[in-house]
Amino acid sequence: MRRPRGASRLLLVVVLAVAAACTTAPPPSPPGPPLFRVMTWNVQTGAHDPDEWAPVVADHRPDVLALQEVCTRDAEELADLLRRDHALEYAVVRGPIRPPSPAEALAPINAALGPACDTGPNDVLYGVAVLSRLPVGPPRITTFPPDRRDEQRGALSVEVTTPAGPVAVHNSHIGIDGVQTAQIRRLAEVAAGPGPAVVLGDLNVGPDDPELAPLRQGFTDVDPDGPATSSRGRIDHVLVRGLVPVGPTEVPDVTASDHRPVVVDLRAAP
């Protein structure tokens, strides 16, 4: 007996519906594990000391720590404290910005930096530093055009070796009052490239400020809507290329600086 054509179609629809209901969609692929944890912090050297910073760093245990406003001697003392009191081993990559020229050394801001680091005005061992628990390569220091109103600014670039391969790390402290555009453009040039990279630092602009545009072309801010990191807003940044955050960004309250640190776990982008 031949089944009516309409009945056959109905039976086919029912069979397909039952099969679809019994088929379980494969679960989404879990995110990869973090490659490393980064932390950036303007530590306000002179007003605060390594023994104040060490417990904060130990609480968060970053694999890569980018410091701004730090004397190079204090970066080494911080690493010693982390080793002695917290069993954390860090290699110190000092990024002293070059000593000022004779004219720059006479500027009030540069004259003040010497006493802050227990040196003379012609030996400004001050600027930025990176502490790393990962294997780290030699430093590359870029100086920005000098501004007679301000300290010499620049960037410290290193390569760290993660379980998934090398990652370029760029640590910078950008100037203020009109120099941000040119300095951030130069920082973007320094950080340009095809491989995974992270830009860390006190950039002295907010996430939505137009001065940040050169970095936005190649990098993504891990938390542009996060809380303020200083009295001037969210001016401390973690920007990534070829990497993505794992979990929320932390911006802990601290008393050891006038800036809050930014801490985030990163993994390779899918």
Q: Give the CATH number for residue 152.
A: 3.60.10.10
DSSP 46-77: TTB-HHHHHHHHHHH--SEEEEEEEEHHHHHH
Q: CA 234, 90, 96: angle at the middle one, nearest 5? A: 65
In a domain, 13, yes or no: no
Mean pLDDT across the chain: 87
pLDDT above 90 covers a percentage of the chain that reads 69
- Contacts of 246-250 with CB under 8 Å at 24 or more apart are 246/31, 246/33, 246/34, 247/34, 248/223, 249/222, 249/223, 250/60
Is 130 within 8 Å of 65 (Cβ atoms)? yes
Name the band, by pLDDT with cuts 50, 70 and 90, for residue 24: very low
Q: Shortest CA distance to 62 belongs to which of 34, 95, 84?
A: 34
In a domain, 9, yes or no: no
| 209 vs 13: which has the higher pLDDT | 209
Q: What is the pLDDT of residue 121?
A: 64
pLDDT in tens, 78-129: 999 999 999 999 999 998 776 666 666 677 766 777 777 877 766 778 899 9
Q: Helices 72-86 and 50-60 meet at what angle, rounded to 10?
A: 50
Question: What is the domain extent for residue 162?
Answer: 30-268
pLDDT in tens, 208-247: 999 999 999 999 999 999 999 999 999 999 999 999 999 9
In a domain, 87, yes or no: yes
pLDDT in tens, 117-129: 877 766 778 899 9
Whether 15 has a pLDDT exceeding 70, the answer reads no
Tally the domains of the chain.
1
Q: What is the pLDDT of residue 231?
A: 96
In a domain, 159, yes or no: yes
In a domain, 3, yes or no: no
In a domain, 199, yes or no: yes
In a domain, 5, yes or no: no
Mean pLDDT, residues 158-171 taken together:
97
Q: Alpha carbon of 62 to those of 55, 57, 90, 172: distances in Å?
A: 12, 7, 10, 18
Q: Shortest CA distance to 145 belongs to which of 101, 111, 113, 112?
A: 101
In a domain, 219, yes or no: yes
